[in-house]
Amino acid sequence: MRRRLIDAGRLGSALTTGLRGGSGQDRARRRRALLRFGALAAVLVLVLSAVAPVLAQVQDTNPYTTTDPKSPEGGMIQGLYRLIFWMSVVVFVFVQFLIVYTAMRFKRRRSQNTRPNQVHGHRTLEITWTVIPAIVLLIIAVPTISTIYSTYAASDDTKGAIVVEVYAKQWWWEFHYPGMGPVDAQGNATDLITANEVRVPEDQKVVFKLYSNNVIHSLWVPEMTGHMDVIPGHERRLAFTPQESGTYYGECAEFCGVAHAWMRFIVKVQPRADFDTWTAAMNQPPGPATAGFVPNGDVAQTPPSFGQCLLCHNITGTKAMAAQAGIAADPTSNNAGPNLTLLACRDTLAAGLLENTPENLALWLLNPGLVKEGNYMHALDTGIKNQGEDGALTPETVTALVAYLESLKPDAGCPENGTANGNMNTDALADNAAAVSTPVPATPVATPVGGTPLATGGSATSVALEGGDLFFNPTTLTVAQGGTIALTNSGQLPHNFVIEGYSDAAPVDMPNGQTVDWTIPADLAPGTYTFYCAVPGHRALMNGSITITPPQ
């Protein structure tokens, strides 16, 4: 059987002498081959031009697109992408041309019955196809290296930039705006802290300082700039200047554990005035309209079960400020969960997993381990369990918590939330909710069930005092000498009961799940005292006032 062979020697000479030369018959044959090739190329161009608008549409609705940057830094990277893309197109077309041309030009003719001349190698060709790729790589390398250096230089220079410290957690993001938080008791400006949703002003350079105290993560906002690894023990930086108001998705781009895929966040780019309104609102205590809030922002009035939440979640402007933040926080998220200030004004829950609706918040609180597998709120011993597990919240409690959390916003309403920019992929969020959906309780009621005093006023001989996780209920007691206080620990942590100036050194233990009766001793003189829990760290949140009256 005869085989069709390409004569490498003839290919080489044809390529080096071009399409000129040869007999008239040869030239006619070559012309026919070129015509056929031209037709093929035309079809290819037609197909590409038909696909292009479709691709453009996909790009418009894809929140993770890298080909439509909204910052000059993203633009530089896009410039590299374009350069490499078009060079690839040229190489592709050139190589395809050579393949098709060679196949047509050097196929066996009917008249040829002899075996073609067998050759090995062709020096000119081999030098050519070594030198061309080297030049191609050089053309790519020069702008790539200069882009790398200029983006690094941009992140080193914080002049005129808004600096945001970003702490990558498992599996969510904490954002600190240094010095932009409320002024503390010593007159020093604190950090404004938020989670999973970072706001920045339009047309101002942003420098993210990236930190981790757990594992390696990688911060990526595809529409802004490239990604940057977040490495424990190092400060990494990323700079970009957002040029268009809108909502942009960010995510973790480095596998960092069970819930890595659900480590998302939102970047809200807003006009300066809207950004300033937001920072002001973040520093205000929640207004009186906030369910269960008394004017001094006393979280003791929140649903009792919220006491458990206060271990890990802070709310600026309230007494819920016990949780740890930043690099010093517990790496395993023990006592260190996302800051919940203005939670009601956020777009998403659970680090970009669910749209922030009362139904989804209830879903999240009822089954945190099912909604976001691996998350510490469910994994910790003191965490919230799924329905059916020990430590699950009851639907009634969840209803109260949802009402409370969804009321965490200014009385005048949320600060301008910004345009969705066509990028908030609510369909995807709805799909997430559907995927993890379990029976959800009825629409939350407006008032929390907790906070109802168990005993009020009078000169009672027997009163009840509930001590839960980081709250006492009620916080005002009146009891006569010789009367008893039934101390119940309804929480999961150990607590105790102390009367300031009387029993500081001898707390009455309140074992979990038990009720202990404590009789008011005769040597505790009538008067009003402060009572508190003496377990380290609890006093700030667990305290109240007790009035002792003469014996009845």
Beta bridge partners of 472: 467
Q: Does 217 bind ligand CUA (CB under 6 A)?
A: yes
Q: How far is the CB of 166 from ligand CUA (least distance, A)?
A: 11
Q: Does 256 bind ligand CUA (CB under 6 A)?
A: yes
Beta bridge partners of 528: 547
Q: Does 344 bind ligand CUA (CB under 6 A)?
A: no
Answer whether the bond into residue 358 is a cis peptide, omega within 30°.
no
Span interacting with ligand CUA, options 117-125, 176-184, 253-261, 416-424, rule CB under 6 A: 253-261
Q: Does 210 bind ligand CUA (CB under 6 A)?
A: no
DSSP 3-state of 85: helix
User: What ranges in 199-319 are assigned the alpha helix state H?
Assistant: 272-282, 306-309
Which distant-in-sequence residues (6+ apart) come within 8 Å of 378 by Cβ?
368, 369, 372, 384, 385, 386
Q: How far is the CB of 289 from ligand CUA (least distance, A)?
A: 36
Residue closest to 241 by CA, chosen among 274, 208, 204: 204
* Cβ nearer to ligand CUA, comparing 218 with 423: 218
Q: Which helix (H) or strand (E) holds 167?
A: strand 162-169
* Cβ nearer to ligand CUA, comparing 161 with 267: 267
CB-neighbour burial class of residue 496 (10 A; exposed 0-12, middle 13-18, buried 19+): buried
Q: How far apart are CA 503 and CA 492, in angstroms?
A: 24
Q: How far is the CB of 385 from ligand CUA (least distance, A)?
A: 24
Q: How far is the CB of 434 from ligand CUA (least distance, A)?
A: 24
- Per the listing, tokens 């009538």 go with 526
Span interacting with ligand CUA, options 88-96, 254-262, 380-388, 397-405, rule CB under 6 A: 254-262
Q: How far is the CB of 348 from ligand CUA (least distance, A)?
A: 16
Span interacting with ligand CUA, options 234-242, 255-263, 330-338, 430-438, rule CB under 6 A: 255-263
DSSP 185-215: TTS-B--EEEESEEEEETTS-EEEEEEESSS
Q: Does 254 bind ligand CUA (CB under 6 A)?
A: yes
Tell me how many residues contact ligand CUA (CB under 6 A): 9
Span interacting with ligand CUA, options 2-10, 249-257, 305-313, 528-536, rule CB under 6 A: 249-257
* Cβ nearer to ligand CUA, comparing 332 with 545: 332
* Cβ nearer to ligand CUA, comparing 171 with 240: 171
Residue closest to 400 by CA, chosen among 305, 332, 486: 305
Span interacting with ligand CUA, options 23-31, 256-264, 399-407, 415-423, rule CB under 6 A: 256-264
| Identified binder of ligand CUA from the candidate list 176, 199, 260, 268, rule CB under 6 A | 260
Beta bridge partners of 209: 165, 237
Q: Does 398 bind ligand CUA (CB under 6 A)?
A: no
Q: How far is the CB of 352 from ligand CUA (least distance, A)?
A: 12
* Cβ nearer to ligand CUA, comparing 34 with 215: 215
CA angle 411, 394, 349 (to 5 degrees): 50
| Identified binder of ligand CUA from the candidate list 85, 92, 94, 255, rule CB under 6 A | 255
Q: Does 263 bind ligand CUA (CB under 6 A)?
A: yes
Phi/psi for 537 (5° steps) reads 90, -15
Span interacting with ligand CUA, options 28-36, 65-73, 250-258, 437-445, rule CB under 6 A: 250-258
Contact 513, 445 (CB under 8 A): no
Q: How far is the CB of 370 from ligand CUA (least distance, A)?
A: 20
Nearest-Å Rg of the Cα atoms of the chain is: 34
* Cβ nearer to ligand CUA, comparing 149 with 255: 255
DSSP 3-state of 465: strand
* Cβ nearer to ligand CUA, comparing 168 with 534: 168
* Cβ nearer to ligand CUA, comparing 168 with 325: 168
Q: Does 168 bind ligand CUA (CB under 6 A)?
A: yes
* Cβ nearer to ligand CUA, comparing 171 with 472: 171
Span interacting with ligand CUA, options 107-115, 248-256, 392-400, 450-458, rule CB under 6 A: 248-256
Is the four-CA dihedral 411, 412, 415, 417 of positive or negative sign? positive
Q: Which of residues 24-53 bind ligand CUA (CB under 6 A)?
A: none
**Measuring CA to CA, how many Å separate 229 from each of 209, 216, 252, 259, 262?**
11, 7, 9, 17, 17
DSSP 3-state of 159: coil
DSSP 3-state of 71: coil
* Cβ nearer to ligand CUA, comparing 230 with 325: 230
Binding mask 365-384 for ligand CUA (x = CB under 6 A): --------------------
Q: How far apart are CA 44 and CA 27, in angstroms?
A: 26
State the residues that interact with ligand CUA by CB under 6 A. 168, 171, 217, 252, 254-256, 260, 263
